[in-house]
């Protein structure tokens, strides 16, 4: 019987460590700034709003970075979220209204970025 409780306690302690690491990662703005700086090095500029018509947009990306796609083409807008995912953003949709993303899938929008040279590219943006 002690073994069962020991295993449960071990699992609980492992989960607590994982949660603490994820919270630290999400609250550490230097980590997010590194994501933003990478995009800036790729030619993006930080902007305050999204200058696109209101409507539904597809997301493509991975981790903490999302790229807005409309009709299979890149809009030039990307954003970094405070809550990332393992893997890629595929088949997800967001609504843009009044220059803002209405509902972010993970966390909140940390920074919005724009790159004119990416506009109109088909599929995943070249980075």
Structural domains in the chain (count) = 1
Higher pLDDT, 44 or 22: 44
Residue 39 falls inside a structural domain: yes
CA–CA distance, 76 with 67 (Å, rounded to integer): 8
pLDDT of residue 126: 44
**Nearest-angstrom CA–CA distance, 16 and 11:** 9
- The token duo for 58 is 């597809």
Residue 102 lies in a domain: yes
In-domain check, residue 89: yes
- Would residue 123 count as lying in a domain? no
Q: How remote is the C-alpha of 61 from its chain's centroid?
A: 7
Confidence label for 3 from pLDDT (cuts 50, 70 and 90)? low
Say what the pLDDT of residue 91 is: 77
Task: State which residues form the domain around 51.
Answer: 2-118
Is 127 within the bounds of a domain? Answer: no
On whether residue 124 sits in a domain, the answer given is no
**Angstrom distance (rounded) from CA 114 to CA 40:** 9
């Amino acid at each position: 019987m002690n073994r069962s409780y020991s295993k449960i306690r071990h699992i609980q302690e492992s989960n607590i460590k994982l949660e603490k690491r994820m919270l630290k990662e999400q609250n550490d703005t230097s980590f997010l700034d590194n994501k933003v700086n990478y995009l800036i090095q790729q030619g993006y500029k930080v902007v305050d709003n999204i200058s696109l018509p209101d409507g539904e947009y597809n997301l493509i990306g991975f981790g903490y970075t999302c790229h807005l796609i409309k009709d299979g083409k890149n809009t030039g807008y990307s954003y970094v979220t405070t809550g990332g995912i393992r893997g890629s953003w595929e088949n997800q949709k967001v609504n843009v209204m009044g220059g803002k993303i209405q509902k972010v899938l993970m966390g909140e929008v940390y920074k919005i970025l724009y790159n004119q040279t990416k506009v109109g590219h088909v599929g995943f943006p070249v980075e």
